[in-house]
Amino acid sequence: MYSFTKPKKKQFFKEDTKLWLVFYAISVFLYVSFALFLLVKAYFYSKNNQIYNQNIITLNTKISSLTLQKENIKLQKTIYEDIMVKNSLIKDSIKNLLDLIPDPITLNKFLLKKDSLIIYGITPTKDVYNLLMLPPLESIFTKTDTTFYQMPNGWYKFKSINKLKGNNETAFN
């Protein structure tokens, strides 16, 4: 058999099949690329999630620490206010006590305790003390003991011990 035309090479794939295979290869490449992209994103999200969880833990510990500090500051504030109120009451009590001292009597020293008051001073006579100083002290305290010591100039040094009993302790608290 003899033919006048030369035989043409037969293509393994037709043009339509080549186009179809190119599109198929591109879609597989895009699918694999997208899968890898999602894996990388998931890895970074996992890392960020761990970092955020660690930050949450440290922030929670800081919050609990700050809460304890806040409670401590509130307690200190309450104690401070209580001390200020007590100091104010003591200041007023001392001022009232010093207002009780008549002009002829001079105080050398006084000791103020929770339930007692000890006064050291000088008076011209025992009568001046008994008339001007003793009645206010007896109205405040339940027990008042005074000891006099005569000085060479005729005046008297005195020591007065005054004590509270029962619920009268609030006078100087």
Fold of 102-171: Gyrase A; domain 2 (3.30.1360)
Q: Which of 60-64, 119-123, 149-153, 162-166 has the lowest mean pLDDT?
A: 162-166
Residue 122 has what pLDDT?
Answer: 92
Q: Which residues contact 140 (CB under 8 A, 6 or more apart)?
A: 162, 168, 171
Q: Would you say 125 and 80 are in contact if contact means Cβ atoms under 8 Å apart?
A: no
pLDDT of residue 86: 85
> For 42-67, how does the pLDDT look when each residue is reduced to its tens digit (9 = 90+)?
999 999 999 999 999 999 999 999 99
Query: Phi, psi (5° rounding) for residue 109?
Result: -165, 150
Query: Residue 47 is encoded by which pair of tokens?
Result: 């890392």
Cα gap 60→20, rounded to integer Å: 59
pLDDT digit string, tens, across residues 73-111: 999 999 999 999 988 887 887 787 778 788 888 888 888
Specify the pLDDT at position 24. 94
Q: What is the pLDDT of residue 166?
A: 59
What pLDDT was estimated at residue 70? 96
- Going from N- to C-terminal start, the domains of the chain cover 14-100, 102-171
